Amino acid sequence: MVEKRNPIAVSEAVKRVMDYAYTEKVEWVPLIEANERFLAENLAADQDVPSFDRSPYDGFAIRAVDSQKATKETPVSFKVVGEIGAGFVYEQEVQAFEALRIMTGAPIPKGCDAVVMLELTKDEVRDGQTYMSINRSYEAGTNISYQGEDVRKGEVLIQKGQFINPGVIALLATFGYAEVPVFKKPVVGVIATGSELLEPNEPLQAGKIRNSNAYMIMAQIERAGATAKYFGQFSDDLDVCIEEVKKALSQVDILITTGGVSVGDYDYLPAIYEAIGATVLFNKVAMRPGSVTTVAALDGQLLYGLSGNPSACYVGFELFTRPIIRKSFGSPTPHLRREKAILGEDFTKANPFTRFIRATLHYNDGQLVATPSGFNKSSAVSSLATANAFIVLPGGSRGYEKDMPVDVLLLEDVQGSEWPWDNIKKYSKL
């Protein structure tokens, strides 16, 4: 018996899963472990930056007014009354024609309103007292980094949901986040199905293939920012499978099975979904590859039945699972980032379905060019390795030619897109 399945549009399928977005959870981690996580609250400055008026250079702090008459012909001399390094505070007030030797980052002492760079001064010692002289005048404010000129206390610098990169780490350190609130990584379980599967450590056998999808998906889960948990391969026994799925669901936030979603007689997934009472959100999508992607929901948990075909499995994850993960990180742009590119070579085979062609991007004088990644049968794993984008080709009756503009979805990007599925349509020839 062939089961009837009604394909739905990609955008509709994405919409259906997004309604089941996983609830955001927050945890606090030590600063350095927050790197490459997603910030769970707005980062506001707890202080001005700089938090005091400071010297950006090594030199001498002076009262600008004392420098007014200094020229090459008539240098003005200042009595050096002390020195101050970064991290220290000079307590006295500097008086007329006095100068304080000051290091980069040190606070401007009371009385001073300008800093003269060291290399523009001359020093001499008279009667055991050091003096320095300058041969030009300075305006008040010269070479002073004023309190708050970079950042004002209370200013929101980084929005909740931001990916934490080295620059964000610097801000977090500056504002005293020894511990950082980040979104918890959802745990995504992976079960491989298929009696043809060997694990990578097993020697090849006739009719069998090594399980590559489960490992690939685990890497995709990690790239999306979540934690992967592998449950191994399904048993051949349906009742055992049902128990395995129940057990896995109790340990994860999201469960992915690979394989077992097509209409072959040996595919258990529909029976399992029925047995555990999961609601199938869709089991066919009008796209290539990945048309037999199935998603079901049970008590708010999503179960993904991705294709056993590597390319279809890869696409299904990126379109339907990744945005759920990224949404759990508070991202307003959880979907694959969509941009425009120029098609790098002809892609002439027409197809009635929306296609996601794995592709490699490069720049031609700053212009994004997308070239299909090698041999493009949906069974080929080799081209997945070089792909860093999908070219989205809307279904239609004609092919696409080199240099035509196409939509691309970026795979190695952390920024994402809000909702890339509107207006994905055919372009007319340039």
Footprint (CB under 8 A) of a second copy, residues 396-415? 405, 412, 414
Range in contact with a second copy (rule: CB under 8 A) among 7-15, 135-143, 273-281, 363-371:
363-371
210 binds a second copy (CB under 8 A): yes
DSSP 385: T
Q: Which of 31, 276, 297, 298 binds a second copy (CB under 8 A)?
A: 31
Range in contact with a second copy (rule: CB under 8 A) among 147-155, 237-245, 293-301, 325-333:
147-155
Asked if 121 contacts 133 with a C-beta cutoff of 8 angstroms, the reply is yes
> How far is it, in rounded angstroms, from Cα 211 to Cα 216?
9
Q: Which of 6, 69, 127, 166 binds a second copy (CB under 8 A)?
A: 166
Peptide bond into 107 cis (omega under 30): no
344 binds a second copy (CB under 8 A): no
Which residue in the block uniquely carries the two structure tokens 């390795």?
385
> How far is it, in rounded angstroms, from Cα 238 to Cα 331?
38
426 binds a second copy (CB under 8 A): no
Provide, rounded to whole angstroms, the least separation between the CB of residue 101 and a second copy. Answer: 8
String marking each residue 230-269 x if it binds a second copy according to CB under 8 A: x-------------------------------xxxxx---
Q: Which of 10, 70, 76, 172 binds a second copy (CB under 8 A)?
A: 172
143 binds a second copy (CB under 8 A): no
Q: Which of 86, 238, 240, 271 binds a second copy (CB under 8 A)?
A: 86
How large is the greatest C-alpha to C-alpha distance in the chain, in angstroms? 108
168 binds a second copy (CB under 8 A): yes
Provide, rounded to whole angstroms, the least separation between the CB of residue 250 and a second copy. Answer: 22
Q: Which of 165, 251, 279, 348 binds a second copy (CB under 8 A)?
A: 165
207 binds a second copy (CB under 8 A): yes
222 binds a second copy (CB under 8 A): yes
Asked if 245 contacts 274 with a C-beta cutoff of 8 angstroms, the reply is no
Task: Please choose, from the candidates 291, 217, 292, 220, the residue with its C-alpha nearest in 3D space to the C-alpha of residue 256.
Answer: 217
Nearer to a second copy, 255 or 406 (CB): 406
3-state SS of 9-24 is CHHHHHHHHHCCCCCC
> How far is it, in rounded angstroms, from Cα 384 to Cα 407?
19
Q: Which two tokens stand for residue 299?
A: 């008590």
- Considering only residues 367 to 396 of the shown chain, the ones binding a second copy according to CB under 8 A are 367-368, 375, 377, 379-388
Provide, rounded to whole angstroms, the least separation between the CB of residue 206 and a second copy. Answer: 5
Provide, rounded to whole angstroms, the least separation between the CB of residue 23 and a second copy. Answer: 26
Q: Which of 26, 32, 44, 96 binds a second copy (CB under 8 A)?
A: 32
What DSSP string runs through 104-172?
TTPBPPTT--EEEEGGG-EEEEETTEEEEEESS---TTTT-B-TTSSB-TT-EEE-TT-B--HHHHHHH
Asked if 41 contacts 181 with a C-beta cutoff of 8 angstroms, the reply is yes
Size of the site for a second copy (CB under 8 A): 110
Q: Which of 12, 29, 35, 41 binds a second copy (CB under 8 A)?
A: 35
Nearer to a second copy, 202 or 346 (CB): 202
C-alpha torsion angle, residues 177, 178, 184, 189 (rounded to 10) = 150
